Structure 1
Amino acid sequence: MNKTIPVIDFQGFHEGNKIEREAVAKQFYDALDKVGCLYLKNYGFSPDFIDQVFAQSQVFFALPLEEKEQIAKDRYSPGVGYFRNPAKTKEVFGYIYERSADGANSDGAINSHPKNDWPVNLPQFRETILEFHQSCQELSWKLFQALAIALKIPETVLTDVISHKNSYVGLSHYFPITQPTQTGQTRFKAHYGSGTFGLIFQDECKGLEICTPDGEWIPVASIPGTVVVIMEDIIQRWTNDQLISTLHQVTIPEEEFYRTRSRYSIVFKVTPNEDAELRCLDVCVNENNPPKYSPISVKDYYKEWEQKQYG
């Protein structure tokens, strides 16, 4: 049975009354339950601004390699800065929220957050990425509120767990493919996300696919004015498998027009506070459905997750 990815108008959640917010929250939950992925429109910031972010991404990736490598990430700052994969099929710039970046939360915990380096000759790049991060942070907060409303629990149950703003912005540039490819070859292999929700902004180039709960792979086309929301492993853990993490990948398009062009995407991810404990929500546990996961600290959860992924 072919499924389609729902497009949900988030305007009612931003500006609506209690009944309207509950209606949107139900649509949001149903999409996660049935498909594991959805498009949001009217999500709170303008498509024109997203165009600016993509433009800055392209400007950055067009820099000479030696200039980009001046801010290359290393093992001491995972996820921060520039990275080019060994196969030379993709390059990434990663930004991780610094507690001092917005002048707030300048407490002792700041030392646990990495310091981001920026290209010295692109001042607008830094300004744009920081604004984008803040906008996505506000949107993610509302997604947690919507999930809580759908689960009929206080909104703060989930938002309190992300109060430290542990979050990541990733800009990706997939290089044009000019050589023959092998059957089943992908631009990014099938994988699950380790966090909560992934927000994905993509250009018009094809490739992103998700696997539905029924095991059907379906394309996630680019729809102007929308953001793709994909569910990740922590949501599955919180809901005691009531919602299932979404397997997704980036395939190589069959059409030469798309294969031989660069592909750009932008992701935003938010993870729980480092001192939080991950446990199945009480509302998702009963005699017939006991907890499938033991309580675990965020730090230990990520250690286990990385061990499973990378051995």
Structure 2
Amino acid sequence: MPTQTIPVLNLQDFRADASHRKAFIAQLGGALEDIGFFAVTNHDVDPQLIRTAYRLAQEFFELPEDIKRRYENPAVKGQRGFTQFGREHAKDSPFPDLKEFWHVGRELPPDHPLACRYPKNLSPLEIPQFHPVMSQLYAQLEACAVELLRACACYLGEPENLLSDMVQDSDTILRIIHYPPIVPGTHPARLRSAPHEDINLITLLCEATTEGLELLQRDGQWRSISAVPGQIIVDSGDMLHQLTNGLMQSTTHRVTNPTNDQESRFSMPFFVHSRADVDLTPLPICVSKTGNPPLPSITAGAYLQQRLQEIGLAD
């Protein structure tokens, strides 16, 4: 089993006695301040469910291109269903990423006030199990994310429900990614995922099927992050960076190309978003801790739209 290169936390400690809970909160906050990444174990996300999700993902991405594109709807800006290979690029990158993906979003009752604002999920008819399995995985990842956000709020000295309330009924996204084998003649500067930061509050990343994920350290060196069975990788995104006035890092990371060009890779990041109406004005306590001028005020909805434009998923 590969050795992990980032802090590894046990979520059961957050549920345990006061001493273990305090230590967990300190470890989580310290990791997000220091490198913006940590791994978590005992997270209650079913490993068999993850394996089934990857099997179904492979089945979908092996379908003919014309069938996959039936599930691509440009009107929803890539926020549901299929997004074809080469459509997305990292902010400021001249090259599209070497990937294709599928998005699963939140499903709300028809009478919910936000139901009309979120696009409908799509379900590939060719793989009946696909949507039910991905929806179940979505629910388990969200339950884990809520606990992590509560711990994060405690670390910041805020009410425990501050951050978890921000994501209630939000348009959090599960992305199922396929990185195909590298085609001969591919420009050497093109990567499976070019250096970027995540847009959202936090990201939960199910163990990928192969290695390749790296984070950029403060010394300018790249650190490889292992795909360890049973671990979920967690990183802080731009929205948490904004809300904490930079106290918690939104760390640059990438997915490198394999040495074996014929190797496919699958991964499933869970992008935990604030509701669009949430005010991301930096918390006063974080402004005080950083000693830096407060970042400009902005809502989560405006922030997301700005970032989607920068990565090519919105006009």
Same fold at TM > 0.5 = yes
Give the secondary structure class of the aligned counterpart of 2:199.
coil
- The aligned length equals 301
For residues 241 and 38 of structure 1, do their structure 2 counterparts lie closer, same or farther at Cα, with a shift above 3 Å needed? same
Which residue of 281, 284, 294 corresponds with 2:283?
281
Is 1:36–1:212's contact at 8 Å kept on the other side of the alignment? no
> Higher strand proportion, which one?
1
**In the alignment, does 2:97 pair up with 1:97?**
no
Give 2:155's aligned residue: 150
**In the alignment, does 2:9 pair up with 1:8?**
yes
Tell me, in whole angstroms, the C-alpha distance in 2 between the residues paired with 1:279 and 1:34. Answer: 22
**In the alignment, does 2:307 pair up with 1:305?**
yes
Tell me, in whole angstroms, the C-alpha distance in 2 between the residues paired with 1:288 and 1:153. Answer: 16
**In the alignment, does 2:196 pair up with 1:191?**
yes
Give 1:236's aligned residue: 241
For residues 180 and 305 of structure 1, do their structure 2 counterparts lie closer, same or farther at Cα, with a shift above 3 Å needed? closer
Following superposition, the deviation at residue 206 of structure 1 comes to 2.1
Tell me, in whole angstroms, the C-alpha distance in 2 between the residues paired with 1:183 and 1:175. Answer: 16
Give the secondary structure class of the aligned counterpart of 2:75.
coil
Following superposition, the deviation at residue 302 of structure 1 comes to 2.5
**In the alignment, does 2:139 pair up with 1:116?**
no
- Residues 119-161 of structure 1, C-alpha deviations (whole Å, 9 max, x = no match): 1132211110000000111111011101011112211121121
Tell me, in whole angstroms, the C-alpha distance in 1 between the residues paired with 2:310 and 2:71. Answer: 29
Residue type of the alignment partner of 1:281 = L
Following superposition, the deviation at residue 16 of structure 1 comes to 0.7
**In the alignment, does 2:242 pair up with 1:248?**
no
Tell me, in whole angstroms, the C-alpha distance in 1 between the residues paired with 2:295 and 2:135. Answer: 35
- TM-score, scaled relative to structure 1: 0.89
Give 1:267's aligned residue: 269
Give 2:89's aligned residue: none
Identity %: 27
Give the secondary structure class of the aligned counterpart of 1:166.
coil
Residue type of the alignment partner of 1:171 = I
Is 1:137–1:165's contact at 8 Å kept on the other side of the alignment? no
Give the secondary structure class of the aligned counterpart of 2:74.
coil
- TM-score, scaled relative to structure 2: 0.88
Q: Structure 1 residues 68-77 or 135-144, which shifts more?
A: 68-77
Residue type of the alignment partner of 1:284 = C
Tell me, in whole angstroms, the C-alpha distance in 2 between the residues paired with 1:212 and 1:88. Answer: 22
Tell me, in whole angstroms, the C-alpha distance in 2 between the residues paired with 1:35 and 1:158. Answer: 20
Give the secondary structure class of the aligned counterpart of 2:100.
strand
Tell me, in whole angstroms, the C-alpha distance in 2 between the residues paired with 1:17 and 1:134. Answer: 26
Tell me, in whole angstroms, the C-alpha distance in 2 between the residues paired with 1:288 and 1:29. Answer: 14
Query: What runs of 5+ residues in structure 2 fail to find an aligned partner?
Result: 87-95
Query: What runs of 5+ residues in structure 1 fail to find an aligned partner?
Result: none
Following superposition, the deviation at residue 89 of structure 1 comes to 3.6
Following superposition, the deviation at residue 216 of structure 1 comes to 2.2
Give the secondary structure class of the aligned counterpart of 1:70.
helix
Following superposition, the deviation at residue 84 of structure 1 comes to 1.3
The equivalences for 1:40-55 within 5 A come to 40-55=40-55
What root-mean-square deviation, in Å, do the aligned CA atoms of Structure 1 and Structure 2 show? 2.3
Tell me, in whole angstroms, the C-alpha distance in 1 between the residues paired with 2:60 and 2:230. Answer: 23
Is 1:5–1:39's contact at 8 Å kept on the other side of the alignment? yes
The equivalences for 1:25-40 within 5 A come to 25-40=25-40
Tell me, in whole angstroms, the C-alpha distance in 1 between the residues paired with 2:187 and 2:97. Answer: 16
Give the secondary structure class of the aligned counterpart of 1:295.
coil
Following superposition, the deviation at residue 182 of structure 1 comes to 4.9
Tell me, in whole angstroms, the C-alpha distance in 2 between the residues paired with 1:154 and 1:70. Answer: 45
